[in-house]
Amino acid sequence: MFVNTQMWLFVLILHVSDSEQAVFAKDSKKFNILYLLADDLRPTLGCYSDPVVKSPNIDQLASVSTVFHNAYAQQAVCGPSRVSFLTSRRPDTTKLYDFNSYWRVHAGNYTTLPQYFKSNGYTTLSVGKVFHPGIASNHSDDYPYSWSVPPYHPPSFKYEKRKVCKDKDGTLHSNLLCPVDVSEMPLGTLPDMENTAEAVRLLDSMKDSQNPFFLAVGFYKPHIPFRIPREYLKLYPIENMTLAPDPDVPKKLPDVAYNPWTDIRKREDVQALNLSFPYGPIPKDFQLQIRQHYFASVSYVDAQVGIILQALDDFGLAKNTIVVFSSDHGWSLGEHGEWAKYSNFDVATRVPLIVYKPGVTSPLSRPGEKTFPFVDVFQGTREQFGKGQGVESVVELVDVFPTLSNLAGLRPLRRCPASSFKMELCTEGFSVDDLIRIPERHHNREAYSFSQFPRPSDSIQENSDLPDLADIRVMGYSIRSTDYRYTLWVGFDPLHCQPNMTDIHAGEMYLLAEDPGQDNNVFDEFDHATVLHKLGILPSWTESLKHHIMFLSSGLKSKGIM
């Protein structure tokens, strides 16, 4: 039986390889890359079985793709997460936990994902928010290292945080909730509409190029403020909205683990609510409006994705372009009494990750047949698409770089050693291209993701959500497996960016089979002493937590809990 299985796998691998080669039987060009990146998007999508959100174009992409159902970011804030997955290094290696340093100067001259493709003959192009702007990308989006030409930024973005939100009395404000009539906006457009138009223009310009392209398109939504076309709210009548299933702060949640959502408190409409710090709570009617606007923002992004994918089809590029759709991290929508990101919970760290490779994740389209026809969400009928090829094993955003390199046929990246500050090119993730080439047969319950989040103190402060590096005193290191979310909050030295894994300030442990929402912290119900004294001598915090979680797993199994 084992021999037959081996032979079956060998034949399947040959078949997949032949399918990939057939794509280029008449075209020797390498696969192009189209990397579509949303901002603050959790997997509230139809293809992730969300019952509310309307996302037909992303669902259509998912139907011909591999869909990773358990993908996680390494830190739930924009700048650190983006630098992490674009270099395939964790925040402790990039030394970026805020927005205030450039990794090439502060940590190491690490090669980025687009830079690697550029060095392999690709024309690399950036539209919108790919790297985080400002110091974190050297005020240049890492140009010219990562990009062949200067990155494009939409002119209308400069109005994003200005007083352009019209109240009922006609006065203008800087609000969290900001549905607009696009024709009334400065320049008569919105940033993601401009991003989409530029992406289509670039695809048109590259369709006859002899060089393959790597095009990254970073959408600004559903990041706040929710400045979106007003009509998308009609998709989500307020009377149909519901609160988060667990809107209360968990009783056993350590103070250090809570994020007080200070960014949304700065908006004028939220300030008018006169909320107490740090817990609020936000009035229920306003909670419903936040959720409504977030969902509407997702549908708005979906439409932009649909326009770009249709252009990919129309220009004859869908047959030789790998498409990736993902996000930098998630966003809490009232779960645990929290809003925004800034935590280690699944709602803040879990992201969509969808990968399409023509001839591999689905058969090639027949001549004249479209792969990505645009789906108008306002037509009223909910399109029914297949679920694609699902992967349940846990993966990380640091896996994207090595995975795309392998899928494109570039030289595989080496794994980074324990200390890799002087290594320009290596990965702290793993390539998961095998899960894309061959359907997942067994859910790997031993796969892990690692996330972290800094805090200035054990108590909740105004800067708890986003402390500057010099103010960080505690780091929450979190490991996510199929069965657990386990987090240790430990002392942290900001001068050397070094944790003390034996200086335990607090802990969290959630048994996901019985507590999928991560509301019942059972950390204090287990004896951790046997393993905690070993954590300080292990080579890295990821190894420390993995060692601890394996110890706890064996204890639970021996008691029949698992």
Q: What is the pLDDT of residue 525?
A: 86
Residues 6+ apart with CB under 8 A from 423: 108, 110, 416, 417
Peptide bond into 278 cis (omega under 30): yes
Mean pLDDT, rounded, of the chain: 91
Contacts of 376 (CB under 8 A, 6+ apart): none
Q: Is the pLDDT of residue 281 over 50?
A: yes
Q: At what angle do helices 191-206 and 284-314 cross, to 10 degrees?
A: 20
Q: At what angle do helices 400-407 and 78-87 cross, to 10 degrees?
A: 40
Q: What contacts 546, CB < 8 A, 6 or more positions away? A: 448, 479
Strands (E) in 32-122, as ranges, are 32-38, 66-72
pLDDT (0 to 100) of residue 557: 57
Residues 6 or more apart whose Cβ sits within 8 Å of residue 486: 478, 479, 480, 507, 508, 509, 510, 545, 548, 549, 552
508 forms bridges with which residues in the sheet?
A: 487
Go through 108-129 and write b for each residue having 16 or more CB atoms within 10 A of its CB, e for each that does not.
Answer: bebbbbbbbbbeeebbbbbbbb
| Most distant pair of Cα atoms in the chain: their distance | 75
Average pLDDT over residues 2-13: 36
Dihedrals phi, psi of 57, to nearest 5 degrees: -75, -40
Q: In the numeric block, which tokens belong to residue 485?
A: 């979310």
- Whether residue 284 is predicted with pLDDT greater than 70 in this model: the reply is yes
pLDDT of residue 269: 97
In angstroms and rounded to an integer, the radius of gyration of the C-alpha atoms of the chain is 23
496-526 burial: b if 16+ Cβ within 10 Å, else e: ebebebeeebbbbbbbeeebebbbebebeee
132 catalytic per annotation: yes
Mean pLDDT of all residues in 470-484 = 95
pLDDT of residue 7: 36
Query: Model confidence over 321-347: pLDDT tens digits?
Result: 999 999 999 999 999 999 999 999 999
Buried b (16+ CB within 10 A) or exposed e, 44-68: bbbbbeeeebbbbbbbbbbbbbbbb
Report which listed range, 125-134, 438-447, 549-558, is most confident: 125-134
| Predicted pLDDT of residue 420 | 92
Average pLDDT over residues 18-41: 71
Lowest mean pLDDT among 102-106, 164-168, 276-280, 303-307: 164-168
| Across 384-393, 405-414, 448-457, least confident range | 384-393
Cα–Cα distance measured from residue 50 to residue 39, given in angstroms and rounded to the nearest whole number = 18
Cis preceding linkage at 144, omega within 30: yes
Position with higher pLDDT, 251 vs 440: 251
What are the pLDDT digits (tens) for 224-257?
A: 999 999 999 999 999 999 999 999 999 999 999 9
Q: How confident is the model at residue 43 (pLDDT cuts 50, 70, 90)?
A: very high
Please state the rounded mean pLDDT for residues 61-71: 97
Whether the pLDDT of residue 1 is over 70: the answer is no
pLDDT at 382 > cutoff 90: no
Average pLDDT score over residue span 528-536: 52
Distances 139 to 69, 136, 143 between C-alpha atoms, Å = 34, 7, 9
Say how far apart CA 541 and CA 560 lie, in whole Å.
Answer: 28
Q: Please count the CA atoms within 13 angstroms of the CA of 250 that sit on its side-chain side.
A: 22
Chain segment 152-166, per-residue pLDDT in tens: 999 999 999 899 999
Q: Which of 78, 165, 178, 416 is catalytic?
A: 78
What the block records as the tokens of 360 is 């591999």
Per-residue pLDDT, 195: 98
Residue 25 has pLDDT above 60, yes or no: no
Which amino acid makes up residue 144? P
> Has 336 been annotated as catalytic?
no
From the list 15, 47, 106, 132, the catalytic residue is 132
* Residue 12: per-residue pLDDT: 37
Backbone angles phi, psi at 455, to 5 degrees: -135, 150
pLDDT at 146 over 90: yes
Q: What is the pLDDT of residues 494-524, one digit of tens each?
A: 999 999 988 999 999 999 999 999 999 999 8
Contact 117, 153 (CB under 8 A): no
Q: Which has the higher per-residue pLDDT, 542 or 31?
A: 31
Other beta carbons within 10 angstroms of residue 431's beta carbon come to 20
Question: What count of other Cβ atoms lies within 10 Å of the Cβ of residue 419?
Answer: 10
pLDDT at 496: 95
Q: Which of 133-142, 343-352, 357-366 has the lowest mean pLDDT?
A: 357-366
In one letter, which amino acid is 441? R
Cβ atoms of 196 and 310 closer than 8 Å: no
pLDDT above 70 (res 22): no
